[in-house]
Amino acid sequence: MVSINLCLRGVSLATTVITSKLPAGAPLLTIEETGCCIVGAGPAGVMLALLLARRGVDVTLLEAHRDFEREFRGNTLNPAALETLARFGLVAELLKLDHAKVRRFVLQETGGRRETFADFSRLRSPYPYVMMLQQARFLEVVVAEAERYPNFRLVMGARVRELVEEGGVVRGVRYGAGDGVHEVRAGLTVGTDGRFSRLRKLAGLEPEVSGSPMDVFWFNLPRLPDDPEGAGAVFRFGRGSLMVMMDHSDHWQVGYIIPKGHYARLKERGLPALRRSVAALAPELGARVETLEDWGQGSLLPVDSDRLRRWHKPGLLLLGDAAHVVSPVGGVGINLAIEDAVVAGNVLADPLLKGNIRERHLRSVQRRRSLSVRVVQYAQNVAQRHVVMDALSREEPFELPRLLRLLLRTPLLRDVPTRLIAYGGWPAGLE
């Protein structure tokens, strides 16, 4: 890995087209050369960095934030992710951390009748559950493993603002850090910078938007020691209301689901009305709903669903949420991001080592991943339109559609939601 300290203002950019967003005249402090520059240290970015580093590729991972601590960014690891992490011997380490295991997702109708929607204990996996673990802890464990390789470099507090392009080929990025501007030049740049991806915009890659009819307000409520063990994740249907409660071992994470764009209306009705609605959906929480005292304790997730038509252009590949934003239905965004990284690691390591990355390699990553993304988004759309929106638009008690109840009790068919959540349909398989 070569790192050249330039400390100059007027570096020659004769062959370089910069999509400029950095302050004009900001000093370019360093230019570094690497094999693969990954932008964004979320699940997709850290996993790809680890997978490439262990194959010997020089990797630089740039992350805008200075740490991984962020509330409400998704705290689930599904069986596919755990099976991949097990290949690195990391699951034992993760299991030592504070976590909960969710073995089934349950739908509970207004009258209290329950139907299992996904039952992970039926999977033939050493990890037949969804692990609820703070995402920051998971990212730290993966990064610590990557740091064992001398060819891996992580820069925190590095916000990428520009692509470096030459003759229509992306050759790297420029990022702002506290001290000024730095450039990373790479054989391949990978954008894993999430749902508001700057790289996606800079590259002019257009998403197909399928949209979503709902938003989710997330907040936490205390969990008491005598709350039932292994409660898992339960969707509670009320009269025109719906929420999901997820057991996080030391607290309940609650997602209160509202029609798209109705957050202002929810706030207008006020916190007492929200608390009453939550208490009606989950009476066993009792006085604990009173701990929700301020809207700032929660976070609105505007639900989106889209996917890029093309995940790549010469020298650049987008993965994870940057390539496809999925709805939170089923909690699969992290899994899809990790599976993208697994496939990208499988396909790209050799060409990166040989220094002959071509667009066909990038196309191959998209081809291998896009069906899984499409299938998941299709299933989420069906669930959102035929169950979620139906539940939110009724004033009378909600009962599951008979056909759905039948499907969830039919051998083989009943395993479809389980497999979609666990593997995004089928596991990518680390080579």
Ligand X SMILES: Cc1cc2nc3c(=O)[nH]c(=O)nc-3n(C[C@H](O)[C@H](O)[C@H](O)COP(=O)(O)OP(=O)(O)OC[C@H]3O[C@@H](n4cnc5c(N)ncnc54)[C@H](O)[C@@H]3O)c2cc1C
Residues that bind ligand X (CB under 6 A): 39-45, 62-65, 72-76, 158-160, 192-195, 198, 218, 299, 301, 320-322, 328, 331-335, 337
Q: What are phi and psi of 369, to 5 degrees?
A: -105, -25
Question: What is the nearest approach in angstroms of ligand X to the Cβ of residue 74?
Answer: 3
What element of type H or E holds 5?
strand 2-8
Q: Would you say 110 or 303 has its CB closer to ligand X? A: 303
Residue 340 beta carbon to ligand X: minimum distance, rounded to whole angstroms: 8
CB-nearer residue toward ligand X: 71 or 399: 71
User: Quick one: 74 or 238, whose CB is closer to ligand X?
Assistant: 74
Q: Is the CB of 101 or the CB of 159 nearer to ligand X?
A: 159
Closest CA to 144 of 61, 32, 57, 39: 61
Contact between residue 348 and residue 188 where contact means Cβ atoms under 8 Å apart: yes
DSSP H helix total and E strand total for the chain: 12, 23
Q: 27 Cβ partners below 8 Å, 6+ apart?
A: 7, 8, 9, 180, 181
What is the bridge-based pairing of β-strands 130-132 and 100-102? antiparallel
Report the nearest approach of ligand X to the CB of residue 71 (Å).
8
CA distance to 68, 82, 230, 404, per residue, from 138 (Å) = 10, 11, 21, 35
Closest contact distance (angstroms) between CB of 134 and ligand X is 11
Measured CA to CA, the distance from residue 321 to residue 305 in angstroms comes to 10
Q: For ligand X, which is the closer residue by CB, 216 or 389?
A: 216
Dihedral (CA of 36, 189, 42, 130) sign: negative
Q: What angle is formed at CA 111 by the lines to CA 105 and CA 114, rounded to 5 degrees?
A: 25
CB of 415 to ligand X, least distance (A): 20
CB closer to ligand X, 187 vs 333: 333
Query: Which of residues 63 and 119 has its CB atom nearest to ligand X in the complex?
Result: 63
The least distance separating ligand X from the CB of residue 84, rounded to whole angstroms, comes to 14
Q: What separation in angstroms does the CA of 96 have from each of 92, 125, 379? A: 7, 19, 34
Nearest-angstrom CA–CA distance, 332 and 64? 24
| Least distance (Å) between residue 73 CB and ligand X | 5
Q: How far is the CB of 78 from ligand X (least distance, A)?
A: 7
Nearer to ligand X, 332 or 428 (CB): 332
Report residue 298 CA to chain centroid gap: 19
In angstroms, give the least distance from the CB of 328 to ligand X.
5
Residue 179 or 350 with smaller CB distance to ligand X: 179
Sorted by sequence, the CB contacts under 8 Å of residue 245 that are 6+ apart come out as 231, 233, 234, 236, 252, 253, 254, 282
